[in-house]
Amino acid sequence: MSMNRNTQSRRQFLRATVVTTGGIALAGCSNSGGSSTDEGGESGGDGGSEPTTEQSGGGAAQTSTVEMTDELAFEPKTIEVSAGTEVTWKNTGSIGHTVTAYEGKIPDGAAYFASGDFDSQQAAKDGYSNGQKGNVPKGESYSHTFETKGTYEYYCIPHEMNGMVGTVEVV
């Protein structure tokens, strides 16, 4: 019976640890401050103008809209767009997120992108650390037009350790 009690204690400990860790991960998020681009505001959210998401053979969704969720995820995680397409990241959750390109993981010659319109990954990280600049609050969005073909990898600064990363394939 003591083995059963130990198993239960470990489960209770793990459950408490997961809950605590999740709380800590969300504690740094805020709906205030930061800069973002609000494309169209609150109106027309369900007006049927959203592009449909379809999976291609490579596993990338063919859409130009990515949602940032309270599950600490970009949905869809990988998208495929044609060169010249404007991609919009919409915060559909209740906590703030960023869109921050990994500087070394974008095509050579491609324009760097980050919410807050920073010109480098370090500037985006510094800006977020200093007043949550680049934060995209609940209900707002950030957009970037991809001109150069290739693979772009990006992440959310406060939630990178939680696996909030994404990829844009430009063909």
CATH number at residue 139: 2.60.40.420
Q: Does residue 24 share a domain with residue 76?
A: no
3-state secondary structure at position 23:
helix
Mean pLDDT confidence for 123-151? 97
Provide the mean pLDDT of the chain.
Answer: 78
Q: Does residue 68 share a domain with residue 137?
A: yes
Give the model's pLDDT for residue 171. 96
Return the exposure string of 121-153: e unless at least 16 CB atoms fall within 10 Å of the residue's CB, then b: bebbbebbeeebbbbbbbbbbbbbebeeebebe
88: domain range? 31-42+52-170
Residue pair 97/136 in contact (Cβ under 8 Å)? The answer is yes
Give the model's pLDDT for residue 35. 37
Q: What is the pLDDT of residues 18-48, one digit of tens each?
A: 333 343 333 344 333 333 343 333 333 333 3
Q: Does residue 97 share a domain with residue 19?
A: no
Higher pLDDT, 91 or 15: 91
Residue 108 within any structural domain of the chain: yes
Give the model's pLDDT for residue 123. 98
Q: Does residue 78 share a domain with residue 24?
A: no
Q: For residues 72 and 24, what is the distance between their CA atoms, to the nearest angstrom?
A: 13
Give the model's pLDDT for residue 130. 96
Q: What is the pLDDT of residues 63-107, one digit of tens each?
A: 999 999 999 999 999 999 999 999 999 999 999 999 999 999 999
Residue pair 169/127 in contact (Cβ under 8 Å)? The answer is no
Q: Does residue 36 share a domain with residue 25?
A: no
Give the model's pLDDT for residue 58. 57
Higher pLDDT, 19 or 5: 5
43 burial (CB, 10 Å; 0-12 / 13-18 / 19+) is exposed
Higher pLDDT, 69 or 60: 69
Return the exposure string of 87-108: e unless at least 16 CB atoms fall within 10 Å of the residue's CB, then b: bbbbbbbebbbbbbbeeeebee
Q: Does residue 86 share a domain with residue 61?
A: yes
Q: Does residue 161 share a domain with residue 78?
A: yes
C-alpha of 126 from chain center: 18
Q: Does residue 37 share a domain with residue 14?
A: no
Beta bridge partners of 168: 79, 152
Could you count the other beta carbons within 10 Å of the beta carbon of residue 83? Answer: 12
Q: Among all chains, which residue has been given the structure tokens 């993981």?
A: 105
Q: Does residue 12 share a domain with residue 37?
A: no
Dihedral angle, C-alpha 49, 50, 54, 56, nearest 10 °: 100
Q: Among all chains, which residue has been given the structure tokens 């959210």?
A: 45
Q: Does residue 86 share a domain with residue 112?
A: yes
Confidence of residue 110 (pLDDT cuts 50, 70, 90): very high
